[in-house]
Every structure is written in C-alpha cells, then in structure tokens.
Structure 1
C-alpha cells in the first residue's frame, strides 16, 4: 500500500510538471496575441498606404512598424529562454514536438516580414497581395495558439485557450475586413469580388465570436458585453453598408478611407482589450491550478509519511498483542489482507485512490468537451485543403463553397466538411 501511495504522489508531481509547462506555453500565447494585434494594425495602415498610391498613412505606417517590431521582439525574447535552448527543449513546453513545430513554422513566416515591408514601401505590391501575405504570417501565429489549446492538459485552462483562439481568429477576420475596406475606400471605385469577400468575413466573425462567448467564462463575457456597448458599431455598420452598396454601382469617397480605418481600429482595439483580459486570466488560472496541485501533493506526501510511521509502530505492536492474546486462545496473526495498516486506514487509502481516479476522469471528460470546437475546425481545414488540392480552388473559394453548401442544405459547416472528406477518393479521381 505504501507503493500505491508513492505512485499516487508521483502522478501528482507529473501533473504539476505538466501545469508548469502549460503555464510557460501560455506566456508564449500572450506574447503572440500582442504581435498578432500589432501586425493587424500594420496591415491596415499598409493597405491605406497602397490603396492611395502612397498619398495617405505614410507616417502612421512608419510609426506602426516600430510597434510591430517591439511586439515581435517580445515573442523572440520568450524563445531565447534557457530551458528552450538544449536538445531536451521539447520537455520545456507542453505539447513537445507539436508545439515546437508550430513555433518553427511561425518563425519561418515572420522571416518574410522584412521583404513584405520593403515591397510595400516601394509600392511593388497591390493591397490584395499585401493582405494575403500578412494573412499568411498571422495564420501561422494563430495556428500556434490553436496548437497550444489543442494540447492543454487542464480543462479550465483549455477552455480559456479555446476562447482566446476563437476571439483572435474572429478579430483576424475583422482585421481582414478593415484592410479590404480601407483599400476599397482609398481606391474610390467598387470591386464586386472584394465586396463578396467582405460578406464572407462578416459571417466568419459571427461564428468565431459565438464560440468565444461559449468558452470564455462569465467574468470575461461581462467584460466583452461592456466593451461591445462602447464599440462604434453604428458607425461601423453605416460604413460597411456603403461598401456593400458599391456592388450596385455606388461610388466610394476616398476621403472615407481614414474614417473607415479609424472606426474599425477602435473596434479592433476594444476586442484586443478582451484578448488582454483573457490572456491575463490564463496566467492567473495556471497559477491557481499549480498552487492547488502543490498543496494537494504536500498533503499526500504528509499522509504517506504518516502511514509509513504508523506501519513501523503498528507491526511490533500487533506482534506483542498477538502474543499476549495467544495465551487466551485468540488468533496470533492479524486479519488477512490488512497488512500493517488495519482495515480503517486501508479503506481511507482506497478512497483516496478512487477520488484521484474520478478526478482525472472528470478532467478528461471536460477536456473532450473543450476540444470538440477545435476538432470541428480541424475538419473544416482538412476539407478546405482537399477542395484546394482536387479542384484548384483558393482557400477563400474552398471555404465559401463549404459555407454555401451548408446553408443550402441546412446543415452545420462541420457536417458538410466531414461529408466532403468522406468523398476524398472520388474527388481525388477527378
């Protein structure tokens, strides 16, 4: 029984190690959240600059580059931590090889920033190309956050990571809408295909924010509602309607580019406040879980020590009692199966083992529920990839096809994605 308790204590220590590695990953997620926010601002300023042929937002873009570089330095500073520098780096963060691979891909994407910035400064790329290239970099960073959520070991932390990922993804769609709209206003003429893309982004934002609200918790949800009440939603909707009406031939006033950018930026900055609050809650949740696990480990260690002492005292005492009672015709041996602990202590230890097992099972069930939303995204991403490979579609076109199919059939997007994957052999032949 001493061996059973020792292994129970070892399991608790493993849990603490997992939580500490998870806390380290959450620090990276916070730094990535700030970098994504600054890159989104940089993308928006760059699109106004490009859409106006360099006439607008030159100084604003230069100022934003400084903020983006500072945020990037924050991420790279985290990656210089001593525990990440050796051959055993995979043990320093939870998720090991999977998360480290995502980090490598994100760094590779970030290496493309200087070239992109040079092309924008020289006006060698169009606004839509700029949006796509920034989108690829931000997508790599968001995939890192997704991976951190997918490998999280604590249900409470996992739910917050799922909420944060969906908030960041929804905010990225809002950032793409800002960039596209800024370029349309700055150019002063309608572009039906880009307006259609804005409709897609509006729908995608709504889906992400619904998932965020389902996982963020009551306190963050209250903060989110309060932020929404001060967002310039009426002005944003008015300008958005102008963009959508441009498909009917309505002219766009280039002077409204900055008004659109400022309105969208205010909305995005307030979304970022919710991101910061959620990221802060992540750190606090990790700290609470680690402190609680350490306290429970100390209690179990004390129990193990107490039982070991009790066993040392009880064994000779049982022998003495047994010897004295043997003369009175009583059995000289203790009851079978009790060992040195006795039935009452043995029942307490078994209860402790059962409680630990039930707690771990409950955690596993909660994790499964939190990851269900992530599993849906995996299905959709795989279905998009299949359509892109087999039908030669762009990512946006593949997603739009899935979404339109879901709407026309009255089915959930994840169901359509699963059905598409089931047709992989047929699609592959064509």
Structure 2
C-alpha cells in the first residue's frame, strides 16, 4: 500500500516546478517593465514633436525611439530563450502565453506608428492612444502573471508591481497630454478633463501599490518620493488647468513640463526595478525553502521505506518472533506498526502541509480580490464600449463619473452594470 508521504513528496516537487515557472514569469515582468518605460518616453517625445510647429524635438524623439528598440530587442531575446512547451508549463501557462502573443502582436504596430509620427501624418492625441494601446497589452501581461501566481507572497508582490506600473502609465499619459498642450499653447475642455482623470487614476493605483507592498519596498518608495519634484509638478498642473480654454499656455514650458514629469517617472521606474529584484529574491527564497522541506520529507520517506521491507509491511519489532502477534498497548489497541515516533512524524508532516496549504489559499484569496475588482471594471468598460460605441477612456470616465455622482465605489458601479447587462438593448 502506498504511503501518504509519497504523495506529499510529489506535491512538494510539483510546488517547486510551479515556483520555478513563476520565477520565469517574474523575469519576464522585469523585462516588460523596462520596455514600457522606454515606450512611455517615446510616446512623450512624439507628442512634443507632433504638437510643435518646428522640428526642435526631432532629435530627442529619435533618441528615445532608439532606446525603445533596444529594450524591445531585449524582450524578444528573452522570449527566444523561453520554450513554450505546453507539457512543461505551469498552471495558467496557456493564459500567460496567450497574453505574450497579444503583446507581441501589439508591438508589431510600432514601425507603422513611428513612420506616421515622423511624417506628421497623425495628431498627438491619436499617437497617444496608439502608444497607450501597446503599453496596455504589455501591462495586461503583467496582470496575467499576477493572476496565475501560485504563491501568495509572490502574488502579493506582483499585484503591487502591476499597480505601480499601471499608476506610472497614467502618469506617463499625463506627461504626454500635458506636453502636447504646452507645445500647442492651448488646452481645451476635453483635455483638461482627461488630465483630471489621469491624475486621479494614478493616485488610486499608487495607493493599491502601497497597500500590497512590503516594508522594504515602501521604505524605498518613501525615499524616492522625497526626491520627486512634486511641488514643481503641482505648479505646472495648476498652470495647465487654469489656462483659458483654447489658449493662454506658454509654449516655452513644454520642455519644463516634460523634464519635470520625466524626473518623477524615472524615479517611479527605480521603484519598479527595486520591486522586480524583490520578486526574484522572494521566488528564490520560496524555492530554497520548499526544497529544504522536500529534503525533510524525502528523508522521512526513506526511513519509512527502510522500516517496511519485502511486501511493504512493517518490519517486526525488536525482540519479536516471526509470526508473533503485534504488541498491544494497555488499552488493548494494537501498537502502531511503524513505531510511535515515525507514525507521529508522518502525521505531523501531513498536518503541517495541510495548515500551510490552507494559509496559502486564504492569502491568495485576499490578494486576488483586488485582481477580481479590476476584472469587473474591465468587463463593465467593455460593455459600455460595445453598447454605446465609445472608446476605452470615455467608458472609464462614464463609470467613474457615475460612481462619484452616486457616492459609490467604482467596482460596485461596475458590478451593478454587469448585473443589468441582460436588460440593455442590443446596439443598433
């Protein structure tokens, strides 16, 4: 008869395999973080170039395009070394590989976009949307890595990382929109509303990043915040928001705005890099700890095997004759065939693993609650886009405005909308 320990050892080996696959996902997240940062810079300088009447931002844009291409090559090189063998993939691998495919497809649109920007064949707002769609596909990959993570400590760090990257993306969109407004010398009412939404959205993401961050990552974040030009950023934001509709902005402030926002974004990227290193360290720590536990269980299994020779039956107790009945305890029950110490070790091992798995399940449920809320908001946005024919930004604005008007949480409004989806008339 098979011992329960055999299956406990097999479970530990599966857990190590899953953690090793998770470590690969964390490496990919780190590479994607660098590429997103370069894309955000390229988007900002492209907006400056498109919104200005001259070519004074052309060299700056070309420089950032080159840096993005290098980061893109790095991600492709990393993926070339990843063998997407379905038989070796961790749970959720199919979803992650699908997101990778979608991200690569989005990146395929970059050459055409760059050519149109260089020829000034698209407006700044259109370029921002197209760049943002590419970034969104990359961020969705990070979200997927967090959603399929099998270890709660790593999952928590991935959720923190995703929210930091999402908040930085909103800050990058703010940089691009503000740069275009300053370069053009004007900001219309829609642009002001967009900036207001971006400021609020990034603050919400940064709050979630802090909620899921570790003590170490939060200490580093506070130190970086002290270096950010936040007073200067607020002053420039007020200049943007208080300018008369259709004019009144000093074009010379375009460089000042871009540099101020870039300094903040570069510091946020440092926090991303620190968190990415923390992810790798946590994965390594969990793998080492699980391997140590596996070693203990294998030793216990070896002891058990040594005590059950031949037909898998326990060896006779010392001093007992063959065929002699098993000893009985004072209460009349048969003595434990493996001996009390070995039996107790097996039971304690099973109980410890059961408690650990339950704790992991509870912690993962708490972490994934935040991910589930985002899924609800994304589904509600998709419903509004399908039924009202609006873009993603407008759909989010409608949800957010409804939540503010009703004094409710955004996720509660999204849930209500989805619950009523069957009542919505089909789009004509």
- TM class by shorter chain equals over 0.9
1:352 aligned onto 2:345:
no
1:205 aligned onto 2:175:
no
* Cα distance in 1 for residues equivalent to 2:200 and 2:380: 19
> In the comparison of the two structures, how many residue pairs are matched?
421
TM-score, normalization: structure 1? 0.94
Q: 1:315 to 1:249 in 2, by over 3 A?
A: closer
Aligned to 2:219: 222
Aligned to 2:71: 71
1:15 aligned onto 2:28:
no
TM-score, normalization: structure 2? 0.94
* Cα distance in 2 for residues equivalent to 1:96 and 1:337: 49
Aligned to 2:242: 245
Contact 1:48 1:56 in 2 (8 A): no
Aligned to 1:329: none
SS in 2 for 1:124: coil
1:164 aligned onto 2:161:
yes
* Cα distance in 1 for residues equivalent to 2:118 and 2:228: 32
Aligned to 2:303: 306
Q: Where in structure 2 are there 5+ consecutive unaligned residues?
A: none
Contact 1:322 1:333 in 2 (8 A): no
Equivalent runs, 1:251-266 vs 2, <5 Å = 251-266=248-263
* Cα distance in 2 for residues equivalent to 1:337 and 1:213: 57
1:339-377 CA distance string (max 9 Å, x none):
630234223211211110110110011011111111110
How far 1:405 sits from its partner (Å)? 1.1
Equivalent runs, 1:181-196 vs 2, <5 Å = 181-196=178-193
Contact 1:19 1:289 in 2 (8 A): yes
How far 1:225 sits from its partner (Å)? 0.9
Between 1:335-344 and 1:374-383, the stretch displaced more is 335-344
Contact 2:326 2:334 in 1 (8 A): no
Contact 1:21 1:94 in 2 (8 A): no
Aligned to 1:110: 107
* Cα distance in 2 for residues equivalent to 1:346 and 1:117: 69
How far 1:159 sits from its partner (Å)? 0.5
Aligned to 2:36: 36
Q: 1:365 to 1:413 in 2, by over 3 A?
A: same
Q: Where in structure 1 are there 5+ consecutive unaligned residues?
A: 327-331
Aligned to 2:272: 275
Aligned to 2:374: 377
CA RMSD in angstroms comes to 1.9
Aligned to 2:326: 333
Contact 2:86 2:94 in 1 (8 A): no
Name the one with the larger helix percent: 1
Aligned to 2:60: 60
How far 1:397 sits from its partner (Å)? 1.3
1:228-282 CA distance string (max 9 Å, x none):
1110001111111111112556600111101000000000000000000000100
